[in-house]
Amino acid sequence: MQYLKKELAVQSYCLRNFKPLGIPAVAKKLLETGMTYIGIGTPEKQEEFQSVINQFADFGVTIADNFAPAFDGNEATMRKGFEFSKMLGHKAMTCNFNLTKDIVKTFELAEKLSAEYDIRLAIHNHGCWHWLGSQTMLDFIFQNTSERIGLCLDTAWAQDANLNAVEAVKRWPKRIISVHLKDFKYHEDKTHHDVVIGKGFIDLPAFIAALKAINFHGYMAIEYEGEPENPIPALIAGKEEVFKLI
């Protein structure tokens, strides 16, 4: 996993307070962390795709992951995410699925497009509140789809859904496509707040060891949603925790 010394990324949501100032502002804040890779969402307009890529590239920033608009069975909308990932030269992208009465058809279409574009799909688990957050539901999805559909394992949201991140890697070794490194501390009232990865519930050494055991070589990003006005110190601290282990 030595490649992460260069390619460890930051999820752009960490830098959300700077988005209204434009891509240059986001890129400059990212560079303050010493990292040059970022994960972003698909731009709203297809004609903006190349401009977004170019603006980040002007600062030496690489778009390492594309989080597609939620899949709802609308083929045109779904293709939009694939087209952006194709432009980026990616072989995988993060996604999610809206639960509708036609969800089986949506998964079938997603697999068809995944094969057409040769881009794997990494479902982002999003905690106990989300229908794809639980182990039971992910088991069901993976039992009924090909390995073209896998998981973007968000460590904190996994914990939120009582899904241990280390056990998730061991349970679905062929489905772990990408990782969001995120950590929570919980309060007595069951609310939580973000902390530097490895300083909350996540056993970071065990998690990295589990990834090494499956020869993981996918996209990995630090995600820290706290202190949106100044997340840089926490992102740097998280990077240093990861670098100790890879």
pLDDT given at position 187: 84
How many other CB atoms are there within 10 angstroms of residue 31's CB atom? 14
For residues 8 and 35, is the Cβ–Cβ distance under 8 A?
A: yes
Element (H, E) at 52: helix 49-57
Phi, psi of 184 (to 5 degrees): -120, 155
Q: Which domains does the chain have, with CATH numbers?
A: 4-243 (3.20.20.150)
pTM beyond 0.85, yes or no: yes
Percentage of the chain surpassing pLDDT 70?
100
User: Is pLDDT at 192 greater than 90 in this prediction?
Assistant: no
Element (H, E) at 136: helix 135-143
Element (H, E) at 237: helix 232-243
Q: What is the pLDDT confidence band of residue 241, given thresholds at 50, 70 and 90? A: very high
User: Is pLDDT at 131 greater than 90 in this prediction?
Assistant: yes
Q: How large is the average pLDDT for residues 33-58?
A: 98
Digit-coded pLDDT (tens) for 208-236: 999 999 999 999 999 999 999 999 999 99
